[in-house]
Amino acid sequence: MTPIEKKCIMGAEKIRRSLARIAHEIVEANRGVDNLALIGIRRRGVPLAERLVKIIQEIENKEIPMGALDITLYRDDLTLLAQQPILRRTEVPFPVDNMNLVLVDDVLYTGRTIRAALDALVDLGRPRKIQLVVLVDRGHRELPIKADFVGDVVPTSKRENIEVELMEVDGMDRVIIEEKPVGDGQALP
């Protein structure tokens, strides 16, 4: 097996600038913040949503509701998980009916996480509109899902993995791309 190669593709400053740009784009696209709320997908979508809320509140000088969504039981691969899934709380302390919701996640890959999040959201009510923010869009969609706001598009091979590390969860801000090792006799995809 070859060793795993890791490369930092976004540092703390680039993440900060990306989130500042996205916050301005959200305000522009929604013509302000009336009827707007952000919902982070657990795990790393929540701290990203918290950061975006803070930036938007500084821009608009208005409070923005924020929630956290656990999609574990909505995943289509739940039965494939060998271990007991870890359930976290969904905390959406406001009604979602007729709201313009901004769903926040760290990486968009196949689209399956977002599909699960959409299912979870509509169980909470009927929002007027749902928009999607991702820090990194890496391609390889299996479902017809597209982000409305993207920090960076990073084309990858299926042998590569994108790992987002955030201060609130991991103790540092960075995005790493790593190539998975190829074992003996393993064909390249």
Please report the DSSP string for 18-55 in residue order: HHHHHHHHHHHHTTSSTTEEEEEETTTHHHHHHHHHHH
Edge-to-edge order in the sheet of strand 174-179:
5-11, 174-179, 160-165
Question: In the predicted model, is pLDDT for residue 82 greater than 60?
Answer: no
Q: How far apart are CA 82 and CA 76, in angstroms?
A: 14
- Asked if the structure places residue 82 within a domain, the reply is no
- Asked if the structure places residue 170 within a domain, the reply is no
Query: Residue 114: pLDDT band by 50, 70, 90 thresholds?
Result: very high
- Asked if the structure places residue 167 within a domain, the reply is no
CATH number (domain holding residue 18): 3.40.50.2020
- Structure pTM? 0.89
Q: Which residue has the higher pLDDT, 32 or 89?
A: 32
Task: State the total domains in the chain.
Answer: 1
Domain span at residue 102? 14-75+89-159
What mean pLDDT comes out for the span 102-111?
96
Q: How high is the pLDDT of residue 148?
A: 98
Q: What tens digit of pLDDT does each residue of 35-81 get?
A: 999 999 998 999 999 999 999 999 999 999 999 999 988 866 555 55
Tokens coding 44: 């790393």
Query: Residue 92: pLDDT band by 50, 70, 90 thresholds?
Result: very high
- Asked if the structure places residue 164 within a domain, the reply is no
Question: In the predicted model, is pLDDT for residue 169 greater than 70?
Answer: yes
pLDDT, the chain, mean: 90
| Dihedral angle, C-alpha 133, 134, 139, 143, nearest 10 ° | -50
- Asked if the structure places residue 188 within a domain, the reply is no
